[in-house]
Amino acid sequence: MPCRIDAAAPDRTPSAASPLPEPLAWIDGEIDALRAAGLERPARVRAGRQAGEVSLDGRTLLNFGANNYLGYAGDVRLTKAASKGSCAEGFGAGASPLVSGHSLAHQQLERVIAALLDVEAALVFPSGFAANTATIAALVGPDDFIASDERNHASIIDGCRLSRARVGIYPHRDLAALEALLAGAGTARRRLIVSDTLFSMDGTIAPLAGLSDLARKHAAMLLVDEAHATGVFGQRGSGLVEETATADGVHVRVGTLSKALGASGGFVAGNAKLIHWLRHTARAWIFSTAHPPGVAAAATRAIGLLAEEPDRRRDLLARAADFRITLQRRGLDSGDAESQIVPVLVGAPQAAVALADHLAEEGFFVPAIRPPSVPHGRSLVRVSLSWLHEPHDLHRLAEALARHAT
């Protein structure tokens, strides 16, 4: 039957009497529930450079809320390197690395990362998150088994899910439980152990020698994420694998350029075969635009600074050790923290928010960390130390924490 254009179209305007449900209306209820549980998240706006102080929503606070461990995020030397790199190669990468986005600046960055880690090759991703998800899914699939520490970062968790491998979660740093999981992996085609080296919310360190022993014993691959250790640990500043001399037993090293290195982007490093495989299979590398060449140039400059300024990481770790002892003496609970990340555990999300608010009133930005970033019952405020902090800043913060958290 021919279509009649003169027929009156049915009236689809919702009447006031029976409004159509708004498809996103369910979100209101979910947000109300988050608010009631103390889990609603603020959207803060920062003005100016990230440094020892930070201006958030118009308030200037001492900044204990960034992963700017060495103070390079606001360093003008990185800005200059980025600007020079952008002038040479343009600001946008314009395409994925596989097509035409892989610039000379990216090639140079991959070379300096490989040299820093003393491995054959490296591959740069738009973010550390992308590096983890893409790499895990490129190494294992539905016929395989992954053993993952219960406190691993969200990007590792999502990589495990994306891979569709069977996943066994072991209690935090529990090698006996990990061994039992590996022994029960049955007929899995491949086995992969995944772990942060420095856990981002706890400040704890993975038992790397034990992990690599178990990987060897059970013919498993070992992937470690050095996101918070890169630039901070190790003689050259390459991370905890270097610090613990476990490179021979670690097959895949993921890191980020966005924390101590003050730039942006992630990387995977290892032998040439691994990197060659990832170039064919890591979907976030193949199907996402390369990060800007100027950013790659800034990251290269930051890696150069690791060699020029080794005192920064030494000072940072020494001050962090003193700070942890001070908190302990004052009866504060930092769990098993052993790094520049120092949590103060309070339990309930509302208590973490209240403590963060008190600290802000005294001039300190120390973020409240709540589920899903930490398990229920383990809400905390997370103190991220930076080389930019003076010892008297740390002393004042310890005093304020002792006043409000105990």
Ligand X SMILES: Cc1ncc(COP(=O)(O)O)c(C=O)c1O
The verdict on whether 228 is a catalytic residue reads yes
SS3 273: helix
Comparison of 242 and 393: residue with beta carbon closer to ligand X:
242
C-beta of 196 vs 242, nearer to ligand X: 196
Question: Who's near 79: CB < 8 A, 6+ residues apart?
Answer: 298
Please confirm, yes or no, whether 334 is among the known catalytic residues.
no
Q: Does 243 bind ligand X (CB under 6 A)?
A: no
Which residue is nearest to ligand X, using beta carbons?
Answer: 128
Stretch of 122-130, 234-242, 306-314, 378-386 contacting ligand X, by CB under 6 A: 122-130
- C-beta atoms surrounding 42 within 10 Å: 11
Shortest Å distance, C-beta 197 to ligand X: 9
> Closest approach of Cβ 324 to ligand X, in Å?
20
Distance between alpha carbon 36 and the CA centroid of its chain, in Å?
28
Residue type at 143 in one-letter notation: D
Q: Which of residues 50-69 bind ligand X (CB under 6 A)?
A: none
Given a contact cutoff of 8 angstroms between Cβ atoms, the answer to whether 291 and 103 are in contact is no
* 227 belongs to the binding site for ligand X (CB under 6 A): yes
Least distance from C-beta 161 to ligand X, angstroms?
15
d(CA 339, CA 138): 31
127 to 186, contacts with ligand X by CB under 6 A? 127-129, 132, 153, 155
Give the pairing of strands 46-47 and 53-56: antiparallel
Whether 251 is catalytic is no
> Percent helix, strand and coil across the chain, each rounded to 5?
40, 15, 40
**Based on CB atoms, which residue is closest to ligand X, 46 or 358?**
46
Instruction: Identify which of 265, 266, 263 has the alpha carbon closest to the alpha carbon of residue 252.
Output: 266
Q: Which is nearer to ligand X, 89 or 196 (CB)?
A: 196
Question: What does each C-alpha distance from 212 to 178, 188, 221, 347, 372 come to in angstroms?
Answer: 12, 19, 9, 33, 29
Nearest distance from residue 159's CB to ligand X, in Å? 10
Contact characters 263-302, ligand X, x per CB under 6 A: ---x------------------------------------
Q: Which of 86, 200, 238, 384 is catalytic?
A: 200
Tell me the residue ranges of DSSP E strands in 238-385. 252-256, 266-270, 341-347, 364-365, 368-369, 379-384
Nearer to ligand X, 291 or 404 (CB): 291
Which range of residues in 1-9, 121-129, 158-166, 317-325 is near ligand X by CB under 6 A?
Answer: 121-129
Q: Which is nearer to ligand X, 67 or 86 (CB)?
A: 67
Write down the least CB distance from residue 341 to ligand X, Å. 10
Binding piece for ligand X, criterion CB under 6 A, among 71-79, 104-112, 220-228, 326-334: 220-228
CA–CA distance from 248 to each of 58, 120, 367 (Å)?
49, 13, 37
DSSP code per residue over 96-118: -IIIII--HHHHHHHHHHHHHHT
Residue span binding ligand X (CB under 6 A) among the ranges 124-132, 171-179, 279-287, 398-406: 124-132
Query: Contact letters (x/-) for ligand X, 193-212, by CB under 6 A?
Result: ---x---x------------
Cβ 94 vs Cβ 101: under 8 Å: yes
Of the ranges 49-57, 125-133, 236-244, 310-318, which one interacts with ligand X (CB under 6 A)?
125-133
When the beta carbons of 125 and 323 are compared against ligand X, the nearer one is 125
* Residue where the block lists tokens 């003193």: 322
196, 206 Cβ separation under 8 angstroms: yes
Instruction: Give CA–CA dist 42/59, Å, rounded.
Output: 15
* Active-site position among 106, 153, 172, 259: 259
Give catalytic residues, as residue numbers. Answer: 200, 228, 259
Judged by the rule CB under 6 A, the positions of this chain that interact with ligand X are 127-129, 132, 153, 155, 196, 200, 225, 227-228, 256, 258, 266
